[in-house]
A and B are shown apart, each in its own frame.
Chain A
Amino acid sequence: MNDSKCAISLREVNRTFDDFVAVRDLSLNIADGEFFSLIGPSGCGKTTTLRMLAGLDSPTSGSIEVHGKDMVGVPPYRRPINTVFQNYALFPHLTVGENVAFGLRERKTERREMARRVGEILELVHLPGKEKRRPRELSGGQQQRVALARALVLKPEVLLLDEPLGALDLKLRRSMQGLMKEIQREVGITFVYVTHDQEEAFSMSSRIGIMNRGILEQVDTPQAVYRRPASAFVADFVGASNHVTVEVLSVAGTRYRVAAPTIGTVDCDGVDGIASGSTAAMVVRPELISIVDSGTGASLSGTIRDVSYNGPTVDYLVETGLGTFAIKTDGQRLASIDSSVGITWPASACWLVPMPSELSANETSEEATSA
């Protein structure tokens, strides 16, 4: 990515609070006009990163550049960056129009020009003619759009969004996601979007960064992150996955031959750089596993412990000798609780990641399920 096309460039950014490391060695480039999402469980450092971009917090070390200009030490009111805050932070003593015009007034915009731009931007967020209303008279979704308009009207180089849809109910969230995508395409401003909802991030973003305990674990397109997660944590966070601990027999580039207990030898692709002879985690996606009759050609046999029917899919939990597997099926074949079944998957469904350390393995799986 060359520098002129780079909207944001973070270099080895660290942020520590007393003895707590909120962000560790974070380096990241975000291209101009990109819709970039930063996801991770609560406390992973994504909001701290956003606050450092906004200027509401400063890094302990490292550099932050916006379009090539160094931003460290520049106060928020002098940055070409605007933010949509988590709880909107609309000014309750001002009308919707005055809220949207707040930044324009600080920039000494001429009166008529101001009214025109406020009207235009309210049109864009589908709130035309609401200038005279008070924020508290609006619904949550409308307030959210006012917050968006208030930031967008200043035509920032970068727009930061801190869990902007967190307070809305599911249905409203889906429709707001659509609106957000549409607006981003229309204005072409670089969006940096923070959320703990991976589905939300997947459906909107051109690229995603996944953070865990202050470390940016992977940055890639949603498809790549989902198909080729860089770590067991990422695999868990972007959609429940199953792990099997395996031994690496041989390595050829990113192609591995591994020995899995009970299952036997498997050839699969994986993350670059896992050493031959080491133990690693083989990730199997729930939707790529099929349930078959026990015995015949099954990779593993086990007992169904839970069935949940979701309409288009049916989810199973199957207890096997290698732990409990989550399986997502299309619901064509129904099995009942406590029945013995076999499960199987093609070798292409496997992906090898480095073995997570014992501590983080426990922690991350907990965080992923609670998120």
Chain B
Amino acid sequence: MGRIRLSFGLITVVVLASLYLPIVFVFINAFNADEELLGWGGFSTSAFSKVLSDARLRHAFLTSFTIAISATVVSLVVAVTAGLWARRAGKIGRAALGFSVYSRLVLPEVVLAVGVFGLLRKMDLPLGQPAIVAGHVVFLSALATVVVQARLRTMNETLEQAAADLGATPLRAFRRVTLPQLMPALLAGGLLVLTFSLDDLLLSQFLAGSNAETVPMLLLGLIRFKITPEANAIGALMMLITVTILVLAVAVVGLRSGVLSAITGSNQTEGDQE
């Protein structure tokens, strides 16, 4: 018994270590004074100051965030529209939407990339930042739709009918009842899209054309020759930003509802007895 427990513990430690060690190394090397990263050359923040003063990198950050935020907004609009439509749609419509959503999730990204690339060429549309946004939306709106639909399924349609009964026009009912109820799902879905978009390399690479460069693209270019403290510093910064967004989001929604419990949503009519 003791031996089995010990070996299970060991496996857990090894798995966790191999998951987190690379991340730890990124952080450590970001502060390494040794330019060649051959050993520990002492503590230095020079990599960060170099990175932050680099115009090309600042531009890449801006590009990445512009793309990510645009993709998030458009994806959420698509997700909410699709989700609301699916509630009214017949069996065939719902099946079609399900197929579209899950095929986009399981198809290899490279297939999507080639497809969007080919389509844009065919339509004679330029590559660049808007093309990347479009590519990300094609892929990531499916992710957002899954999250929004999961929430909608737990929501009671009689609430909208009650709003209408109390005098709210369809638009007002959406504003005052549907949207607030969807908020946790929009936040969770939005975060997913944002981080996936920030992280994306493949679609961006295909659709960037000659003048758009995102952070992952720049990073790949940097390490093609050699890994420097600057590359690690960029990685560390990306991570900090993502974690910060997550923490802020959770703080805004409040731990009261909690993003995850809100998605599974089980708060309809539980009440203590009198």
Which residues of A does B touch, CB under 8 Å? 54-56, 75-77, 81-83, 85-89, 91-93, 102-103, 106-107, 135-143, 150-151, 154, 172
Contacts and interface: CB of A to CB of B under 8 A. Distances in A.
Interface of B: 156, 158-159, 161-169, 172, 176-177, 180-181, 267-274
Contacts of A135: 271
10 closest Cβ pairs, A-B complex: A103-B166, A139-B274, A106-B167, A89-B162, A76-B164, A89-B158, A93-B180, A83-B165, A77-B167, A103-B167
Nearest to B161: A56
Given A87-B156, A91-B177, A139-B273, 8 more contacts: A54-B165, A55-B165, A56-B164, A106-B167, A106-B168, A140-B274, A151-B165, A172-B274
Contacts of B177: 91
Contacts of A151: 165-166
B165 A107 contact: no
Residue among A55, A86, A136 facing the most chain B CB atoms (10 A cut-off): A136
A136 B181 CA distance: 15
A139 B161 CA distance: 23
Residue among A55, A83, A92, A135 facing the most chain B CB atoms (10 A cut-off): A92
B271 A154 contact: no
Nearest to B162: A89
A151 B166 CA distance: 7
A140 B159 contact: no
Contacts of A75: 164
B269 A85 contact: no
A82 B166 contact: yes
Contact of B273 (A56, A85, A92, A140): A140
B162 A92 contact: no
B269 A136 contact: yes
A315 to B, nearest CB: 31
A172 to B, nearest CB: 7
A77 B274 contact: no
Residue among A88, A91, A107, A172 facing the most chain B CB atoms (10 A cut-off): A91
A92 B267 contact: yes
Contacts of A56: 161, 164-165
A95 to B, nearest CB: 13
Contact of A87 (B165, B269, B274): B269
B152 to A, nearest CB: 15
B162 A136 contact: no
A87 B158 contact: yes
Given A102-B176, A139-B274, A154-B167, A92 B158 contact: no
A196 B267 CA distance: 28
Contacts of B269: 87-88, 136, 140, 143
A107 B172 CA distance: 12
Contacts of B159: 89, 91
11 contacts: A54-B165, A55-B165, A56-B164, A85-B158, A92-B181, A103-B167, A106-B172, A137-B272, A139-B272, A142-B271, A154-B167
Contacts of A140: 269, 271, 273-274
A81 B164 CA distance: 11
A88 B156 CA distance: 11
A198 B166 CA distance: 29
Contacts of A142: 271, 274
B65 to A, nearest CB: 30
Nearest to B173: A77
B271 A76 contact: no
A141 B161 CA distance: 22
A77 B168 CA distance: 6
A136 B268 CA distance: 7
A167 to B, nearest CB: 8
Residue among B159, B172, B267, B269 facing the most chain A CB atoms (10 A cut-off): B269
A85 B167 contact: no
A141 B274 contact: yes
B167 to A, nearest CB: 4
B186 to A, nearest CB: 13
Nearest to A54: B165
A276 B272 CA distance: 61
Contacts of A172: 274
Nearest to B167: A106
A150 B272 CA distance: 21
B271 A136 contact: yes
B273 A76 contact: no
A166 to B, nearest CB: 13
B259 to A, nearest CB: 15
B271 A143 contact: yes
Contact of B165 (A82, A86, A91): A82
A85 B161 contact: yes
